Amino acid sequence: MAEKKTGYDWKFVNIGGTTRVSIESGKDLQHLHELDQKLWTVLSCPVKGLELDEATLSMMDSDHDGKIRVQEVLDAVQWLLKIVKNPNVLLRQEDFVPLDYINCDTEEGLKIHNSAQQILSNLELNTPHISIADTADSMAIFAQTKFNGDGIIVENSTDDEQLKKVITDCIATLGAKLDRSGADGIDTEQIEDFYALCADYKAWRDAGTADGEHVYPYGDNTEDALNAYMALKDKVNDFFMRCKLIAFNADTSSVLDVQVSKVEEISDKNLADCNDEIAAYPLARANNRCELPINEGINPAWKAAFANLKRLILDTDYAEHQFITEEEWLALESKFKPYLAWKADKKGEQVESLGLDRINEILSANKKDDLLALIAQDKELETEANEIASVDKFLHYYRDIYKLIKNFVTFADFYDKNRTLKAVFQAGTLYIDQRSCDLCLKVNDMSKHNTMVADSGMFLIYCDCISKQKNMTMTIVAAMTQGEVDELVVGKNAIFYDRSGLDWDAVVTKIVDNPISIKQAFWSPYRKCSRFITEQINKFAADKDTKMTGDLTNTISDTGSTLTDANAQQPKETAGKQAFDMSKFLGLFAVIGMALGTICGFLLQLVQGFAKLQWYKMVLVLVAIILVISGPSMIIAWLKLRKRNLSPILNANGWAINAKALVNIPFGATLTQMAKYPKVTVSDPFADKGLAWWKKALIWIALLGGIFAALYFTDTLAKVGLPFHKEQATEAVVEEAVVEEEVAPVEEEVIEEVAAE
């Protein structure tokens, strides 16, 4: 047991490579604020990216910094303890709460209890408990109520038809505020602004009416007349300037008037489609008299606009004129100045769409005080309505607080021995290469992962995932803790299932290579050697193929261009080439032969030296060789597997981890599940048939004969006690040869005597 600093008897467990506090009862929760922060596994975690209701975490994030810290967890626990009668019920993790669980003896509990009853009443539910589903839709809770404490009134807030119409007009002109019932409404600020704008608009219109003849030079058509004047103002001013230049210098008339060359450029086109080009020409034919014709001679592109100007203005001021001068034109502008000044001082234009008559009606009825009274009546329920939001918060905390604490203080869900629970950071399961990986986390910041996860010591697979159903993408990292890795490469496709069971298309984008098991580490050097040899052979073959293809292409090209010269010199050059190629080939063959001879000699000496050893020494030598090759890899793997740590990965995801989270060999084996197949008795119809039995027998005889010969000629058989010795056989052969030499002269003498007789 650890030293008691607070007087509370905490329970401790050894899990995940360190000693942790075990939170198992409501009493533990009551004393949680006494627990030294150094003993917490986690100091902070992110609000987003966890398999825990984000709404709960957002409510708990009191400073809205995107992190849940120890103090915020403690504040949530202390608030809950003031509301529930028995703290043990917080361990149930249920999404509903019986009303009799709530402690009405405390101020907090009484408010929650009353608000919960109000919610059930609004929803017309007669149940002894309230659930998260009941508080999830605030609009449904307030749909049938006139007032809900948010300081916003809607049409349903009153039965007075005049007030309803004013509320509608206010929304139409100033926009709406969303009421808790889900309907459009207005608040105090909008009511004040609405009546102020109506008053301003009426005062502005009254100011214009007071001096109507001066402000409205053309009566009710003044606005249309002004628009017609402004539409042609620049074009008319351009015309008079051209006229003044011609009057100044008559030689410029051909340039300043409508040029024939300009018309020629478009003459071959459909002139009905050339309105923009024609509109660029002068308004009328420029002249040295500086007179603008009114009834005829107007540019066709501007004729309609000029006719509108004539109807609204010129027929009023210059009805008898055939032309107007520049002075007469400028006099028109001065007539509009009072009207323009009045328009510039316009106020209340937001409510102009209602029309002056409706505005006068609103101001005359003056229902402003009645609307503000409705707002005040609504705000009287503000406290009660806010407590309804507190009920939703209470239900979320009630369901999720213990789960969060288990993943904050102890990591109990992650190290669950029955493997029925998953930690809040486990995003789902990745299926790849005939295995499933349960330790999968969402990646929030790839740059942090690139710099931090190497210290985890785990074999990690990063995947980009796409969900067509959700139309979303995300990146995950999965820890591989069992099996081989030969088939795991960047670009390999897989399937990821999130915690809700939804499948995502996954593709491997990055692999962090670390040992998976000691067995895999044992074979690793041999695989690397095999891979290196294969790569070199492939590279050599590819280089040779490229060279031969290039040489052949060059030869064909050269042959086509020098065929005549080649035929003349063919005997001499061919002989020279053949001699050179043959010597090169023989030299290469000699080098290869020497290399093979050296290698074979070395192997023969190795076999001879090995054969001189006793059989048990042979076994020890083989074991030593294997250990020299695989030993370092196995030792490194063993050291890394003992220290595999999840903390660096969580730190890269924004967690502040306060203790180790080791993933040792036994625990790691539970995080990756391998495919298991039953014993299959049916043979594969497409399997290789193999050799016949008699061919296999001959191969085995030849192999055993070769081994026997090697052992015999190296005296290995005699050394292990078998009655076969090369020296004894050699002595027998020598004795037989001596006997033959002694007998031979005698046989020759006998033959000669027989021949003489």
Residue 528 falls within a domain, yes or no?
Answer: no
Q: What is the pLDDT of residue 238?
A: 92
Assess whether 461 and 340 both reside in one domain.
Answer: no
- DSSP code at position 156: G
Q: What is the pLDDT of residue 578?
A: 43
CB 313 within 8 A of CB 319: no
Cα atoms in the Cβ-side hemisphere of radius 13 Å centred on 190: 24
Q: What is the pLDDT of residue 528?
A: 67
Cα 626 to Cα 81, 416, 600, 614, 634, distances in angstroms: 64, 39, 22, 19, 11
pTM for the predicted model, two decimal places: 0.60
Assess whether 241 and 338 both reside in one domain.
Answer: yes
Assess whether 39 and 121 both reside in one domain.
Answer: yes
Assess whether 203 and 249 both reside in one domain.
Answer: no
Its sign, for the CA torsion 412, 418, 421, 425, is positive
Buried b (16+ CB within 10 A) or exposed e, 243-265: bebbeeeeeebeebbeeeeeeee
Q: How many domains does the chain have?
A: 4
Residue 624 falls within a domain, yes or no?
Answer: no
Q: What is the pLDDT of residue 575?
A: 43
Assess whether 133 and 166 both reside in one domain.
Answer: no
Q: What is the pLDDT of residue 84?
A: 96
Residue 680 falls within a domain, yes or no?
Answer: no
Nearest to 351 by CA among 360, 343, 338: 360
Q: What is the pLDDT of residue 677?
A: 81
Residue 579 falls within a domain, yes or no?
Answer: no
Assess whether 339 and 396 both reside in one domain.
Answer: no
CB 333 within 8 A of CB 343: no
Assess whether 315 and 253 both reside in one domain.
Answer: yes
Q: Is 195 strand, coil or helix?
A: helix
Residue 620 falls within a domain, yes or no?
Answer: no
Residue type, 468: K
Assess whether 278 and 372 both reside in one domain.
Answer: no
Q: What is the pLDDT of residue 261?
A: 81
Residue 541 falls within a domain, yes or no?
Answer: no
Assess whether 483 and 498 both reside in one domain.
Answer: yes
Q: What is the pLDDT of residue 580?
A: 44
Assess whether 183 and 241 both reside in one domain.
Answer: no
Q: What is the pLDDT of residue 710?
A: 64
Residue 104 falls within a domain, yes or no?
Answer: yes
Q: How far from chain centre, in Å, is Cα 257?
A: 66
**3-state SS string for 663-723:** CCHHHHCCCEEECCCCCCCCCCCCCCCCCCHHHHHHHHHHHHHHHHHHHHHCCHHHHCCCC
Residue 484 falls within a domain, yes or no?
Answer: yes
Assess whether 230 and 308 both reside in one domain.
Answer: yes
Q: Which alpha helices (H) appear in 435-562, and where do they start and end? A: 446-452, 518-561
Averages of pLDDT over runs of 10 residues in the chain (757 residues) are 61 87 93 93 93 92 93 96 95 94 94 89 88 80 72 89 93 89 88 93 85 78 90 91 89 82 83 86 88 88 90 88 90 87 88 92 92 90 78 94 92 87 93 94 92 89 94 94 86 95 95 79 66 72 75 70 53 45 51 53 56 60 66 69 87 92 88 84 69 75 73 57 52 50 53 53
Q: How far from chain centre, in Å, is Cα 487?
A: 25
Assess whether 227 and 296 both reside in one domain.
Answer: yes
Which domain does 300 fall in, by range? 217-347
